[in-house]
């Protein structure tokens, strides 16, 4: 229970909701190795198979169909980076290494870019503040920031290629550049004011091998393309599919929260109400918010529950808590209404910002 002092008008925690969330889900915290491994391996196999099909397709139409399948499957496989930040050490032996080998390094998003970042977003005293790397008050910013926020993601694969193929080796020659790379260009963050601290201990060693592998892959990919071993068309399709994955994730991020906090500390209940669930019966949520991300608000209440147990936890809470509970206030109907709500809020209440 959060015991901070909150600004005037802040909402106190809903103790009944928090007790129910903890009490009804105690046995749901163990991840299922069979589910994790089969989901990751199946998604990666489908994604890379569709990527190959897009490259080899005989016509533009089939290329586009295969590319769409590749984007959705690799997006799902990539979304396991979120689970890696919450899985307890030793719970799924080898899973982090396998994810990085299959997805993180090939797509140039090794897990060190998220581990050590995402946990700050869940810190009770950091959420929604300037110290939260994953928060911006988008609903209060100028309307043009929303399309810019989404469009920027399309260029992420090129930026990641430059980061690992150029900045990584050069940073080994300059302490000043290395400090810049670690502080500014080593996190999947959206808060431009956030600066990352250098890694320490065992995490520093993990960071080193992941960054080294990603750098070797990025350099090899560019060299093989420059020498014609990888056809330029195949390289372009790979980049386009990677951009599609980043774009889809950015759209999902756009509606993960209401983005209405201006930097003040928030109670756990306020944090929950600023976050979104998109539960069934809608089926599309599993495509644009896979691996439990459609239960993002519930995840903020219970970050230790594995993704495959979140639907069960949600059903139990819906059945237990009456219609007056604030738990129901974060349950929304779909992607488009959420995007529309955010755009309308930004248009109505835009605050001039530099």
- 10-residue mean pLDDT profile of the chain (354 residues): values are 38 80 92 97 98 96 98 98 92 96 98 93 87 91 90 96 98 96 95 92 95 98 97 97 97 93 86 92 91 95 94 94 90 90 81 39
Q: What does pTM read for this prediction?
A: 0.92
**6's tokens:** 């909150």
Q: Report the pLDDT value the prediction gives residue 31, as an integer from 0 to 100.
A: 95
Task: Provide DSSP, 298-335.
Answer: HHHH-TTS-GGGHHHHHHHHHHHS-TTSGGGGGB---H
Residues 6+ apart with CB under 8 A from 103: 40, 44, 74, 77, 78, 80, 81, 109
Distance between CA atoms of residues 190 and 148, nearest Å? 12
Cβ pair 20, 317 in contact under 8 A: yes
Q: What pLDDT is stored for residue 249 in this prediction?
A: 96
With contact defined as beta carbons under 8 Å apart, do 311 and 277 qualify? no
Distances in whole angstroms, Cα of residue 183 to Cα of each of 9, 170, 178, 212, 320: 35, 15, 8, 17, 45
- Cβ(289)–Cβ(296) below 8 Å: yes
């Amino acid at each position: 229970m959060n015991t901070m002092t909150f600004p005037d008008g802040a909402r106190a925690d809903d103790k009944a909701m928090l007790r129910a969330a903890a009490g009804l889900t105690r046995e749901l915290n163990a991840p299922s190795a069979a589910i994790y491994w089969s989901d990751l391996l199946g998604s990666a196999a489908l994604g890379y198979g569709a990527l190959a099909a897009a490259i080899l397709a005989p016509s533009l139409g089939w290329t586009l169909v295969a590319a769409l399948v590749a984007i959705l499957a690799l997006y799902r496989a990539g979304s396991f980076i979120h689970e890696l930040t919450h899985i307890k050490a030793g719970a799924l032996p080898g899973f982090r290494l396998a994810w990085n080998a299959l997805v993180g390094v090939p797509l140039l998003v090794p897990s060190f870019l998220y581990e050590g970042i995402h946990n700050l977003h869940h810190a009770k005293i950091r959420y929604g503040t300037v110290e939260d790397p994953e928060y911006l008050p988008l609903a209060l910013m100028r309307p043009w920031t929303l399309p810019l926020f989404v469009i920027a993601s399309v260029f992420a694969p090129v930026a990641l290629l430059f980061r690992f193929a150029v900045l990584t080796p050069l940073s080994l020659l300059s302490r000043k550049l290395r400090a810049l790379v670690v502080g500014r260009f080593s996190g999947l963050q959206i808060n431009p004011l956030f600066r990352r601290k250098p890694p320490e201990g065992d995490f520093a060693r993990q960071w080193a091998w992941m960054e080294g592998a990603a750098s070797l892959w990025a350099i090899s990919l560019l060299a093989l393309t420059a020498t014609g071993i990888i056809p330029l068309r195949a390289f372009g399709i790979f980049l386009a599919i990677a951009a599609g994955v980043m774009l889809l994730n950015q759209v999902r991020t756009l509606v993960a929260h209401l983005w209405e906090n201006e930097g003040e500390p928030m109670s756990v209940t306020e944090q929950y109400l600023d976050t979104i669930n998109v539960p069934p019966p809608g089926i599309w949520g599993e495509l644009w918010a896979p691996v439990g991300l459609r239960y993002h608000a519930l995840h903020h209440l219970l970050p230790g529950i594995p993704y495959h147990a979140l639907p069960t936890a949600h059903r139990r809470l819906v059945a237990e808590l009456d219609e007056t509970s604030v738990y129901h206030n974060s349950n929304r109907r779909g992607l488009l209404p959420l995007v529309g709500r955010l755009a309308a809020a930004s248009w109505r209440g835009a605050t001039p910002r530099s």
